[in-house]
Amino acid sequence: MNTKLWGTAAATLLLAGISACSPKQATLSYEAVPVERRNLIVSASASGAIEPVLTVDVKSKASGEIIGMNVQTGDDVKEDQLLASIDPRIPRNNLAQSQANLQVAQAQLSNAKAQLARSDTLFKSQAITQTEYDGAKLDYANANAAVIRAQSDLENSRDRMTDTKLRAPLAGTIIAKNVELGTVISSPTTDVGGGTVLFRMANLDTVQIRALVDETDIGKVSSGLLTTITVDAYPNRPFEGTVLKVEPQATVQQNVTMFNVLIRIPNPNHLLKPGMNTEVEIHVGRRDNVLAVPNAALRTQRDVASAAQVLGLDPNEVQQQLAAARQPQQTP
């Protein structure tokens, strides 16, 4: 009798222990979300880096030592603003020489003109020969040509003197500076190597992205589509852009075919800098102010049918559209 009682008690404790050790089932919780009107956007994801629309390498037509530096990397400059100064001593001396040469040529022209006038009078009175008269006319023509040549040399000397002041070819931002005070530079007009690049400038008022889009999405992308761009520097501040064009040549990366999509972005405050990595969402589809149901609510076919009824759609037609979308596209 005692043995049976102990056996019954042991069995009871064992069951109690098993019950205590078994995990409790988590209670499922559901969140009620009202069906409401929203703006729905279907997007194609891509990535790329910020780059300037236009980049200019700034060179100097003058050669020599840099004696003045007026800008630094990152400075915003206006068109025709002074960037740097080159040693003007040789161009200044050449300018003075050209001015003197012009004065000499003008004096020689004045003498040749007077001599031609006298020769003309003497020739009419037959005091000189035809050969002497022709010589006077030739001297006048040579003197006139010398004046024109001296004027041209003077103008070139003035240009070379002006070239010692390097000015901005356009309004923009200095994104690179390759020289310092004391650097001796060469001119692209005399150096077969192309001359020294002093600065690199870019207009950052509008920037662009060459975003790589997967070939499965590229058929939905076209010029004029709106885009949303995010960068790590401003994670909570999206930027808006527009698709400019889809480049025709594909790029293969890790056996994945991608296409470059060129996107233009207004950048009035210059917050977006060249080289920044970006995440791009191209708005390939959009519906404004439509009744919407959260995707998480549509887990079964029955959920889809119920949502269709709530939205005022034909459940059978919705099911057919979903079935057609699941079928792989057949290539001809």
| CATH homologous superfamily of 39-53+203-288 | Efflux pump adaptor protein, beta barrel domain (2.40.30.170)
User: Could you count the other beta carbons within 10 Å of the beta carbon of residue 25?
Assistant: 6
pLDDT at 298: 73
Domain ranges of the chain: 39-53+203-288, 57-86+164-201, 88-163, 293-326
Section 280-307 average pLDDT: 79
Q: What is the pLDDT of residue 29?
A: 65
User: Domain 88-163 maps to which CATH number in 3.30.70.360, 1.10.287.470, 3.30.1280.10, 3.40.50.300?
Assistant: 1.10.287.470
Rounded to a whole number of angstroms, the distance between the first and last alpha carbons of the chain is: 86
pLDDT at residue 7, as a whole number: 39
Q: Which ranges of 125-224 does DSSP label H, i.e. alpha helix? A: 130-162, 215-218
| Backbone angles phi and psi of 5, in degrees to 5 | -65, -45
pLDDT of residue 27: 62
C-alpha to C-alpha distances, 190 to 62, 162, 177, 184, 196, nearest whole angstrom: 9, 17, 22, 14, 11
Contact between 204 and 183 under an 8 Å Cβ cutoff? The reply is: no
Task: Specify whether the CB–CB gap between 209 and 263 falls below 8 A.
Answer: yes
- Decide: pTM greater than 0.75: no
Structure confidence by residue, pLDDT tens digits, 129-146: 999 989 999 999 999 999
Q: What percent of the chain is modeled with pLDDT above 70?
A: 89
| CATH annotation of 57-86+164-201 | 2.40.50.100
Given this model, what pLDDT does residue 4 score?
38
| pLDDT tens readout for residues 52-73 | 999 999 999 999 999 999 999 9
Q: Is the pLDDT of residue 230 over 90?
A: yes
Using one digit for the tens of pLDDT, what is the confidence trace for 233-257? 999 999 999 999 999 999 888 888 9
Q: What mean pLDDT value characterizes the chain?
A: 85
pLDDT surpassing 70 at residue 2: no
